[in-house]
Chains A and B, each alone.
Chain A
Amino acid sequence: MLRTRNIAAVLACLLIAVLAGCGREGSPPVKGPKAGELPQYTVDTAFRLPESKTWTKAKKRGHLVVGAKEDQPYLGEKDPATGIYSGFDIEIARMMAASLGFEPDTIRFRTIASANRETALQNGQIDYYVGTYTINDMRKKLVGFAGPYYLAGQGLLVRTDENDIKGPQDLAGKTVCSAAGSTPYQRIAADFPEADLVAYDTYSICVDNLLTFQVDAVTTDDAILLGFAAKAPDEMKVVGKPFSEEPYGIGVPRSDNALRAALNDALEANEKNGNWKKAFEATLGLSGVPAPKPPPIDRYPSN
C-alpha cells in the first residue's frame, strides 16, 4: 500500500504544483490572535495533585491532552496549514495547564466533535475539555464541570445590510440556520415556530449559507457568532440581546473531583490576577466587545 500511497502523493503534489508552483514555506496569513500578542502564564512548577488520577497520569506521560474545537474562530480554531490551535477556549486551556504545572510545550490539543465529548472524557482520551461546553444537569450526570469561565447566550448573526432582524421576535418568515439537533435549534423550534428552520451539521456551513444568501440568520451562542463576525466584519454582524444563558465549563472526568477543585481554584486565581481579562482581550475581545465580568464559579457538591 505504501507504494500506491507514494505514487498518489507524487501525483497530487504534481497537480498542486501545476496549479500553483509547489511549496511556498509557511502558511497563508490569517486574521486572529497573533502568537506574539498572547499573554504568557507563569507555570506553577511546584504544583502537585496526587489525589487526581488524571493529573498523575498526565504527569507520568509528560504531557497534557486537551480536547478542543477546531472550527470556531476566536474561541477554538485550528489553523488548517500549521495545525496550531488558537482562541479564547484555547487560552483558558493553556492558563489551566500552567496552573497545573505543565509547560506550554507539553500541551497537546485534540479536536473532539460535540457528540463525542462525554465519551472522550469517560474513556480517558483527553484529560480535560475546553470548547464551548455548556454546563447542564444532564451532562453533569456524565462528566464533571469546572467553572463556568464564561457566560454566553443565544444570539443571532445576520448580514451587515440586514436591518429587519433585531432579535428572535423578528424571525417570523425568515430562514434561520443552526446545527442539527443542537439546543439553540430546538429552542428556536419551540419558542419561535414561525421561523423557517434550516439545520446543518456544522456552523461553518451555516455561515457559508448566510454569505450566499441561502439563509437570513444564523443562531447559536453569541460567543461563537462573535468569532465569525470578527473574521468578516464587513459582511456579518451579531444583533440583539442574548436570549438564553449558556455557562461554559471545563469538562473533566466525572469521578475526578480533585482535578475539578484544582481547576476551579486556578480559574479563580487567574480571574483575580488579570490573566482572564488579558486572554479575553487577546482573542474574543478583538471582535470589539469589551471584556465582561467573569461569571461566579459554581463549586457544586460531588455525589
Chain B
Amino acid sequence: MTRSTVSATALYDIPGPLTRKRHFLYGVLSTAVILALLGWLLYLLFDTDQFTSAKWTPFTYKGIQELLLRGLGNTLKAFAYAAVLSLVLGAVLAVGRLSDHKPVRWISTLLVEFFRAMPVLVMIFFIFVALKVQPLPALVAGLTLYNGSVLAEVFRTGINSVERGQREAAYALGMRKTQVTTHVLAPQAVRAMLPTIISQLVVALKDTSLGYLITYEEFLHAGKLIASNLDYDLPFIPVVMVISPIYIGMCMLLSWFATWVARRERRNPKTEGTGVAAAEPGTLLPGRLR
C-alpha cells in the first residue's frame, strides 16, 4: 500500500521510513472512509427495499432475458454500422482535406468543422425528427457524421505526422501522389493512429445509447421498459445494476484494447517514421483549439 512510487514523479521523493508510516496511516484512514461510504450505500439499498424478490424475479424469466439480449444485439448492430461507416467517411473527408484542389479542401474542412462543433444528439434528432428517418438509420447517420469528422482529423494529422523524408523519398522515386499516400504514408499513419482510432470507437459505442432517446430499441431502452413497469414493482435499481456493468465492461474492454495496441505500437520499429500524436484526453473533441 505504501510502496507509492513506481516511477519517479516531479511531486515528491521516494519516501523514507517515517513518511511511509504516515502514508500508511493516511491510507488506512481513507480506506476506512471509503468502506464506510460503501457500507452506507449498501444500507440505503437495503433500507429502500432494492433487494426484494419482487424486484429481482423478472430477471429470472426467459422473456426478460431475451428482451435484454435483443437490446444488446441492437446496440452492437448500431455500433458495427456506425464504426464501419465512420471509418469510411473519415477516410473520405481526410482525403478531401489533403486534396490539391482548393474547393474540395474547403468543403471538406467546412464539413469537418461543422459536424464536430454540433452536439451529436442535435444531429441525431434533426435526422430523426426533421428528415423523418427511422430510428436505426437516424442513429447510425448521426454517429457516423460526428465520429467520421473526428476520425478525418485523426487521419489527417496521422498522415501529416509521417516524417517528411518518407514523402520526399517516395516522390523522388517517381511515385504519384496517390501512390505516395496509399503505399507510403497511410500504412505508417494508420499504425500510429490505431490507438486513437479505437478510442474514438469507444465514444461511438457509448453514444449508441443515445438511440434510447429516439426510441431505438437498444440495450438501455430494454432496461427502461423493465424499470418503468409498475407490474414488476419498478425495479429501477436492479436494472441499473444489471445493465451498467455490461455497458461499462464493453467500453472498458475496447479502451483496454486501445491501450494494449498503443503499448505494442510503441515497441514496434515500423512506426518509427511517425511521431505518434498522443490521443487527446477524452478524445471527445480533439483540438478545435489548435
Task: For residue B128, give the distance in angstroms from its CB to the closest CB of chain A.
Answer: 8
Please provide the chain B residues from 177 to 225 with a CB less than 8 Å away from any CB of chain A in the complex: 213-215, 222, 224-225
Which A residues are in CB contact (< 8 Å) with B229? 30, 80
Please provide the chain A residues from 4 to 54 with a CB less than 8 Å away from any CB of chain B in the complex: 4-5, 8-9, 11-13, 15-16, 19-32
Q: Tell me, yes or no, whether B121 is within 8 Å of chain A by CB.
A: no
- Closest residue of chain B to A21 (Cβ to Cβ) is B60
Verify A20–B59 contact, CB threshold 8 A.
Answer: yes
Task: For residue A161, give the distance in angstroms from its CB to the closest CB of chain B.
Answer: 18
A29-B60 contact given A9-B69, A12-B69, CB 8 Å threshold? no
Q: Tell me, yes or no, whether B232 is within 8 Å of chain A by CB.
A: yes
Select A113's contact among B56, B215, B236, beta carbons within 8 Å. B215
Select B67's contact among A15, A24, A80, beta carbons within 8 Å. A80
Select A27's contact among B63, B68, B73, beta carbons within 8 Å. B63
Give CA–CA (A70, B62) in the complex, Å: 20
Give CA–CA (A32, B59) in the complex, Å: 20
Verify B63–A81 contact, CB threshold 8 A.
Answer: yes
Which A residues are in CB contact (< 8 Å) with B214? 113
Q: Tell me, yes or no, whether B262 is within 8 Å of chain A by CB.
A: no
Give CA–CA (A73, B234) in the complex, Å: 14
Binary interface encoding of chain B residues 66-79 relative to chain A, with 1 for a CB under 8 A from any of its CBs, else 0: 11110011001100
Q: Tell me, yes or no, whether A201 is within 8 Å of chain B by CB.
A: yes
Chain B interface residue count, Cβ-Cβ cutoff 8 angstroms: 40
Verify A73–B215 contact, CB threshold 8 A.
Answer: no
Which B residues are in CB contact (< 8 Å) with A71? 225, 228
Q: Tell me, yes or no, whether B30 is within 8 Å of chain A by CB.
A: no
Give CA–CA (A232, B230) in the complex, Å: 7
Task: For residue B100, give the distance in angstroms from its CB to the closest CB of chain A.
Answer: 36
Task: For residue B254, give the distance in angstroms from its CB to the closest CB of chain A.
Answer: 10
Verify B60–A30 contact, CB threshold 8 A.
Answer: no
Verify B234–A208 contact, CB threshold 8 A.
Answer: yes
A24-B61 contact given A9-B73, A201-B213, A204-B228, CB 8 Å threshold? yes
Binary interface encoding of chain A residues 189-215 relative to chain B, with 1 for a CB under 8 A from any of its CBs, else 0: 000000000000110110110010000
Interface class of chain B by DSSP: helix
Q: Tell me, yes or no, whether B111 is within 8 Å of chain A by CB.
A: no
Which B residues are in CB contact (< 8 Å) with A119? 132
Q: Tell me, yes or no, whether B245 is within 8 Å of chain A by CB.
A: yes
Q: Tell me, yes or no, whether B273 is within 8 Å of chain A by CB.
A: no
Q: Tell me, yes or no, whether B64 is within 8 Å of chain A by CB.
A: yes
Verify B231–A228 contact, CB threshold 8 A.
Answer: no
Q: Tell me, yes or no, whether A138 is within 8 Å of chain B by CB.
A: no
Which B residues are in CB contact (< 8 Å) with A111? 215
A13-B226 contact given A8-B250, A28-B61, CB 8 Å threshold? no
Question: 4 closest A-B pairs (Cβ-Cβ)?
Answer: A81-B63, A27-B63, A231-B230, A204-B228
Q: Which residues of A contact B (CB under 8 A)?
A: 1, 4-5, 8-9, 11-13, 15-16, 19-32, 70-71, 73, 78-83, 111, 113, 115-116, 119, 123, 201-202, 204-205, 207-208, 211, 228, 231-232
